[in-house]
């Protein structure tokens, strides 16, 4: 991954004040042209002085997306990193960029314009995941995170657990990859729940603790991810494995996942 991929492609594609501390950092991958404006409208609820929006644009028509972002948000960073690893690779790339810039926050929103075109209810899945941003739920975030044991807030409907403690295997095609990655990350996990769809709020310190250590090597993780719109219907993938590991960043550190309706 070349060094130029760590930089903004054009100076005009960022609006960032001198401050480096925020309440929220929104980490967002944009890929599906017909879904982008709708998602940006949803994210606008967080458009406050205390929020930084960090986008990666993976779609071809980047200029219109950039203009849409400029019209909606006060503080943002925009990257145009070539897509590798779908939204998972993009989120890892953006986390790496944020940490390299020395940006800190209380919470991060992990989000993407999830479409799941292979599913008949793909949009419904996304909409349920985004319920965490409904005003009634967003107003509860501060109180929920007052519990120091809670590290992630997500839609209760999509908190899943595939681990079978009897066989000590994951009931999915990525079982062997998951075991390999857990060992590689040197994690001891007792709570294997994860947020299917990888859209959730997470304490920023969890990301910082997970990836600030040079040994975490985000760039190497990204390099292991598959290219293209890879699915796991026939075999396991590193992309779908990391969809689970993103939640385990929290549970491996002793935090819990909190589900909201």
Q: Is residue 9 part of a domain?
A: yes
- Domain of 42, CATH number, reads 3.90.550
Per-residue confidence (pLDDT) for residue 114, from 0 to 100: 78
- Token readout for 58 is 């993976």
Q: Is residue 177 part of a domain?
A: no
Q: Is residue 33 part of a domain?
A: yes
All residue ranges of the chain with pLDDT < 50 are 1-12, 118-119
Q: Report which secondary-structure segment, H or E, holds 164.
A: strand 163-164
Q: Is residue 88 part of a domain?
A: yes
Q: Is residue 241 part of a domain?
A: no
Per-residue confidence (pLDDT) for residue 61, from 0 to 100: 84
Q: Is residue 193 part of a domain?
A: no
Q: Is residue 237 part of a domain?
A: no
Backbone φ and ψ for 20, nearest 5 degrees, come out as -125, 5
Q: Is residue 175 part of a domain?
A: no
Distance between CA atoms of 26 and 207, rounded to whole angstroms? 13
Per-residue confidence (pLDDT) for residue 127, from 0 to 100: 86
Tens-digit pLDDT profile for residues 210-226: 998 766 689 899 999 99
Q: 204: buried, middle or exposed (CB in 10 Å: 19+, 13-18, 0-12)?
A: buried
């Amino acid at each position: 991954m070349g060094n130029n991929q760590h930089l903004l492609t054009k100076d005009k594609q960022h609006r960032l004040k001198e401050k480096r501390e925020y309440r929220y950092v929104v980490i967002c991958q944009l890929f599906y042209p017909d879904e982008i404006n709708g998602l940006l409208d949803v994210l606008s609820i967080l458009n406050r002085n205390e929020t930084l929006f960090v986008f990666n644009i993976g779609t071809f028509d980047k200029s219109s997306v950039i203009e849409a972002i400029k019209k909606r948000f006060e503080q943002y960073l925009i990257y145009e990193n070539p897509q590798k690893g779908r939204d998972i690779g993009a989120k890892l790339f953006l986390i790496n960029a944020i940490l390299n810039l020395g940006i800190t926050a209380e919470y991060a929103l992990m989000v993407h314009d999830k479409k799941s075109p292979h599913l008949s209810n793909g949009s419904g899945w996304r909409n349920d995941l985004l319920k965490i941003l409904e005003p009634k739920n967003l107003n509860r975030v501060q109180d929920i995170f007052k519990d120091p044991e809670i590290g992630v807030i997500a839609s209760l409907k999509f908190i899943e657990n595939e681990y079978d403690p009897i066989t000590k295997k994951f009931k999915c095609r990525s079982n062997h990859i998951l075991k390999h990655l857990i060992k590689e990350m040197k994690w001891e996990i007792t709570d294997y729940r994860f947020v299917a769809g990888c859209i959730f709020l997470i304490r920023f310190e969890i990301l910082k603790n997970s990836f600030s250590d040079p040994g975490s090597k985000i760039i190497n993780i990204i390099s292991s991810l598959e290219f293209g719109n890879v699915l796991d219907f026939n075999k396991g993938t590193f992309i779908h494995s990391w969809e689970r590991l993103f939640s385990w960043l929290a549970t491996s550190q002793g935090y819990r996942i909190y589900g909201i309706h």
